[in-house]
Structure formats: C-alpha cells, structure tokens
Amino acid sequence: MTDESVDGTADAVTLESFLDALQDEGRPVATAQQIARRLDCSQATASDALNRLVKDGDVERLNVESDPVVWYPTEWGRLADRERVVLFPERRELVVDQPSQFTRAKLSQVAHLVDTSGTKGYLYRIRQEDIWAAPFEELGDLLQTLRSVLPRRSPHLEEWIERQWSRARQFTLTTHEDGYTVLEAASESLMGNVARQKLDEEHLHAPISDTESWVVEGSEAAIKRILYEAGYPVVDERELETGDPLDIELKTTLRDYQRDWVDRFLDQRAGVFVGPSGSGKTVAAIGALAAVGGETLILVPSRELAGQWRAELLEHTTLDPEQIGEYHGGQKDIEPVTIATYQVAGMDRHRALFDRREWGLIVYDEVHHIPSEVYRRSADLQSKHRLGLSATPVREDDRETDIYTLVGPPIGTDWDALFDAGYVQEPEVEIRYLPWANDEERNAYASAEPRAKHRIAAENPAKVDEIRHLLTEHPTAKALVFVDWLDQGRDISNALNVPFISGETPHHERDRLFNEFRDGERRTLIVSRVGDEGIDLPNAELAIVASGLGGSRRQGAQRAGRTMRPTGSATVYVLATRGTREEDFAQRQMRHLSEKGIRVTEQGID
C-alpha cells in the first residue's frame, strides 16, 4: 500500500483544491508544506501532486532564496476570476475579490461598502450602525447571512456582533395608554446610569418606575439622537400618526431593487433610500407612498424641486392635481399630499399647520440637509413612516449619524450592481490639471493672502479656453458647466455666449432655460450651486466642473451625478489649476466617486 493511498488525499490535490488552499493562505503562491497543511496530507503527497499538475500545465514551480520551491497557478486569470473573501476579524473588515451578486446582496444587509476602486478588491467594513440597522428579526438570521459568505466562522467577530445586537435593543419609546410617550430601559442600571445621565429636564419628566420615564412632549427626536450618540440606538414603537387614508395607486412598475427598498422600508417604517442619481429614488419613494396609503408630507430644499415632485406624482400615480398641494414662498396650499420646503416647514408661524395635520408618511428629500441647524426643526416632525432620499448622505462635519437617528437607517443597493445591471450608466471622470493663463495670474496667486488664493485659482482664465475646447470635442453633447463664483459664471457666459443660471436668475427664467435644455432646444448651460441638487436634468451627457473644488465630497458626487442616467455614456471633466490646492481638492472630491466603483483618471494639460 503506498503512502498516497494511506493518506487518501492524492486525488484531493487537484487544481481546484490547490486554488482553495491559496485562498485560505491569503497568498498568490505557496510552498508544498503550506499546501499539505491546508489539505491535510503529507508534504511528500502534496509535492507529488503539484509536480503532476506542473506536467499538466496547470501549475508552475519557482525556486526562490527564501524557500526552495513555491508553486502558483499557470493561468493567473483562473485565480483572479474566482471570488475570494478574506476576513480581518480584529478590524471587522472583509476584502472580496470578484464578488458574486449573491455575496454583494448578503453583505449589503450587514456591512458598509467602503471602497470598490479595485486596488483592494471590494472593501467592506462592519460598523456598529450596520448591526443596529440590520433588517433581521433575530440575531441568528443575521449571523447566518454573514456565515453564508465568509470562508470560515469567526467567533471573535460573532461575539462582537452579538454585543452590538443586544446594545441596539436596550431602550424603547412607547405610547402610554393615556397618550403620552414613555422611554423604557432594559434595566434599572441603564435607566439610571445612561438615560438619566445623558438626558435632562428638557427631555424627561419624573420617573414612572425604575426602568421607565415620562418623555417631555416634542423631545422624542432629541432623545433618539442623544442616546444614539451614546451608543444606544432607540427602538421606536410609538403609536404615531397614520394619517387619513389616501386613495392612490402606482401606475409604474418598480424595478426589483426598488421593490426591495420599498419592502424593507415598510418593515422598518423608517429609513433612507441611498443610491446614485438616475437610480430612481423618487419613483421608489412614490412607491412607498402608495404602499403606505396615508396622507403625506414631502419636504424639499427648493421650489424647483417641489414642482418636479408634483410632476412625478401626477405621472406615476392616480392622484388628481387637486390632491397635491405646494407650500413654499410661491404658494401655500395644504392637501392630502403636500410638498413643502424645509425652511418654511421649520418656521414657527407655519409649523402649527403641519403639526395639526396627521401625516401617515413624511418624505425628506435631499436628506443630507437634516443635520444643519436651519433644517433640523423640520425633522422633529414625526410620523409613523419617515423616509429620506439622498444620493450621497456624506457630510464634511461627519454628522451622517444624525440623518439616521432623525429619519432612519440607510436602505440601498451598491452602485456597482446598478452599473452592471445597466440601470445607471457609469460616467467617465477625468481630472484635468491646467497651467496658469499667464504670469500675471500666477504672480497674483503667489502674493495673495491664503483666503484669496482659492478664488484666484478657481477663476484661472485658462479654464475658459479649456471649456471651449471640451465643448468642441463633444459637439453634440448636452453640457453643464458648474461654477461657484458669479463673476466667473458671467465671464464664461459672455465668452461662450451661453446662458448662466444662478440664484439671481428669476424662477420663471430658470424654468424656461431648464425646459429648453431638457427638450434639446439648448445644448449648454452654465450653472452655479443652484444646479448641485434638486434639479432634474436627465439628458446631461457632459459635466465640466470649472470651480467649486473647495466644496464637499457630496457636492462633487452630485455634480458628477448629473450625468448618471439609465442610457448613454457620459463624461465628467474636473478642471484644477496646477500647483495650487485645487489639485488636492479635486482628488478629495472625486475620491468618493472612486470608492463607489467609478473610474477616475488624471491628465496634465500644457
């Protein structure tokens, strides 16, 4: 009887088992000893089998100084095409090469997609808030989902997840039979050492019991935010307003992922739809509105967006025009479905009107505004269902968690999945580094005060020539040119004979120009920050960012997002003056897109 038959493993050392062993090692090459350990056979058996694979042309061997022989696959593509999941339990991170649709779907429920740039594969991180917001009724279901994609179980990670799962269920808001709100803790210690230490008389009245406190009316949102920041998300089981029934049907068929968003939202009754421009967040929200079937308040940042919501509601539902009201500086009508601006809804003289109405659903569009002081008061409006929408809920002040505590946890699909399915076209993004137009401009920048340098670089006259050149290179594309400075916008407008839209442009003039752009009557527009969000420009095929690189990552993603639509390829050019801080700003803004899987290239212009 041979050694191989004793081991019973000669047949087990195949190309597939060799690839599996490399995956377990987490290395592209391995010694016979390492392969033997992974496949539970003798080193001699492994060496003989690997030599046989060398003869078959599947594996190659290499003598190196540090180890007599290492082995690796002949066709590296076979290894690259295989899904490989590497877990770093101490950091709670997973790197996934070539993830399948199944793996993406499972990880989207329990982890945060950090990076898809390709340098590290797909990088996922499991955070506290991911466990707190995971869409599962039982801890076992969450663990089973995670185990289904991991190469092996990790007791260390699972213990941490179990602690976070328990932590998310320590405090509950309920409605007392007499109508007031009660904060209930899982133990006397939590109520005394956490809730009553973090909260004061503005939030809680006298205790009802050792584990219950009477909540001050109107402080519920603040309580949820404070305890969340303390590491204890609150389960909200209040008997909130459901609103009068609304007779409405959806006339549009939702995509599979939109239906999944709506179903998850209905289960949670609170959440934020997160997806790139063009992914249909508004339509999905209208689907949620129809599913809830109650009177609805929709909060938006601008009058233009209010008008667009009205048009979308009439297009996709059976609502009659008289059932939809708008409440802002232009008109003030409250109807079963009311669209209001954040600023107006937060004003004292209007707030009572919204408080008196029993809303079954409140929709917060462009929800990343919520943490700001101007808009926060409108978030205190609470209903049984709260839904936020945002392509990019990142904030430079790192207050994204405010969004999820005031409105709800994120609900979304990873951007790469939408690109692969063809629902959204991935734009080509290129940063172009431009020289100074002349020595005079360069010298002005060099001698300027630090605050002035940013604007001088942004208004580099060389950008006008580059914009003209890019428009010539894309003669048939519908193009948007973004600027931050009004003087620059006017200069480019005069040089190119193209309209410039800013906050100074009357609303009727904005509407006319945007409609001409949508209808193809006008090919190019220059827009200030009024175009950064809330304006539906579905046919934009080219975006040129001439200035505004000192803005947020969200602003950069929004501007690029104006070209991310279901059909047709699109290009984004980001213009930065070489040798200035604009270079760093451009790279920072575009990094957020790169993390979402969008390819960003760079080019120097002479």
Number of Cβ within a 10 Å radius of residue 495: 13
What is residue 410's three-state secondary structure?
strand
Decide which of 475 and 10 is more confident: 475
Q: Which of 69, 55, 58, 70 is nearest to 14 (CA)?
A: 58
Task: Summarize pLDDT for 242-280 with one digit per residue, the tens.
Answer: 678 888 999 999 988 899 899 989 888 888 888 877 788
Give the pLDDT band (50/70/90) at residue 571. confident
Return the pLDDT at 373.
60
- The domain locations on the chain are 3-79, 83-167, 171-236, 256-417, 425-604
Q: What does each C-alpha distance from 55 to 29, 74, 267 come to in angstroms?
A: 18, 11, 57
Distance of alpha carbon 145 from alpha carbon 106, whole angstroms:
6
Distance of alpha carbon 431 from alpha carbon 145, whole angstroms:
40
Tokens of 498: 């193209």
Among 111-120, 540-549, 597-606, which stretch is predicted with the lowest mean pLDDT? Answer: 111-120
Return contacts of 66-74, CB within 8 angstroms, 24+ apart: 67/31, 69/31, 69/32, 70/29, 70/30, 70/31, 71/18, 71/29, 71/30, 71/31, 71/32, 71/35, 72/22, 72/28, 72/29, 72/30, 73/15, 73/18, 73/19, 73/22
Among 39-53, 163-177, 480-494, which stretch is predicted with the lowest mean pLDDT? Answer: 39-53
Degrees (nearest 5) of the Cα angle 330, 333, 339? 80
Return the pLDDT at 433.
92
Q: What does each C-alpha distance from 577 to 454, 534, 544 come to in angstroms?
A: 10, 29, 14
Q: Which of 450, 451, 522, 536 is nearest to 493 (CA)?
A: 522
Category of 280 on φ-ψ map: left (φ > 0), alpha (ψ -120 to 50) or beta:
left
Distance linking the first and last C-alpha atoms of the chain: 75
Give the pLDDT band (50/70/90) at residue 484. confident
Span 201-218, mean pLDDT?
91
Distance of alpha carbon 286 from alpha carbon 246, whole angstroms:
13
Q: Name the CATH superfamily for 425-604.
A: P-loop containing nucleotide triphosphate hydrolases (3.40.50.300)
Q: What does each C-alpha distance from 606 to 434, 549, 603 come to in angstroms?
A: 7, 21, 10
Decide which of 368 and 139 is more confident: 139
CATH class of this structure's domain 3-79: mainly alpha
Task: Summarize pLDDT for 371-421 with one digit per residue, the tens.
Answer: 666 565 666 666 778 899 887 654 333 455 667 777 777 787 766 666 666
Q: Looking up tokens 């707030």, which residue turns up? A: 351
Return the pLDDT at 563.
47
Give the pLDDT band (50/70/90) at residue 235. confident
pLDDT for residue 209 is more than 90: yes
Report the 3 state secondary structure along 263-305: HHHHHHCEEEEECCCCCCHHHHHHHHHHHHCECEEEEECCHHH
- Asked whether this chain's domains 256-417 and 425-604 adopt the same fold, the reply is yes
Return the pLDDT at 569.
60
Number of Cβ within a 10 Å radius of residue 224: 22
pLDDT for residue 5 is more than 90: no
DSSP 8-state class, residue 26: T
605, 434 in Cβ contact below 8 A?
yes
Return the pLDDT at 28.
67
Return the pLDDT at 392.
62
Return the pLDDT at 428.
80
Return the pLDDT at 566.
47
Instruction: Give all strands of the β-sheet with 270-274 in edge-to-edge order.
Output: 324-327, 337-341, 296-300, 361-364, 385-390, 270-274, 410-412
Decide which of 568 and 356 is more confident: 356
Q: Is 0.85 topped by the overall pTM? A: no
Distance of alpha carbon 395 from alpha carbon 406, whole angstroms:
15
Phi, psi torsion values for 148, nearest 5 degrees:
-70, -15
Span 228-232, mean pLDDT?
87
CATH number given to 256-417? 3.40.50.300
Return the pLDDT at 6.
40
Distance of alpha carbon 220 from alpha carbon 302, whole angstroms:
27
What is residue 421's three-state secondary structure?
helix
Q: Residue 166 is inside which H or E element, if any?
A: helix 155-167
Span 94-98, mean pLDDT?
83
pLDDT for residue 51 is more than 90: no
Return mean pLDDT, the chain.
80
Distance of alpha carbon 395 from alpha carbon 78, whole angstroms:
41
Q: What does each C-alpha distance from 346 to 44, 325, 374, 380, 442 come to in angstroms?
A: 76, 17, 8, 9, 46
Residue type, 264: R
Distance of alpha carbon 313 from alpha carbon 514, whole angstroms:
20
Distance of alpha carbon 85 from alpha carbon 95, whole angstroms:
6
Give the pLDDT band (50/70/90) at residue 2. very low
Return the pLDDT at 550.
47
576, 546 in Cβ contact below 8 A?
no
214, 173 in Cβ contact below 8 A?
no
Q: For 67-91, give one letter per residue: b (16+ CB within 10 A) or e.
A: eeebbbbeeeeebeeeebbbbebee
Return contacts of 109-113, CB within 8 angstroms, 24+ apart: 109/134, 109/135, 109/136, 109/142, 109/145, 110/134, 110/142, 110/145, 110/146, 113/414
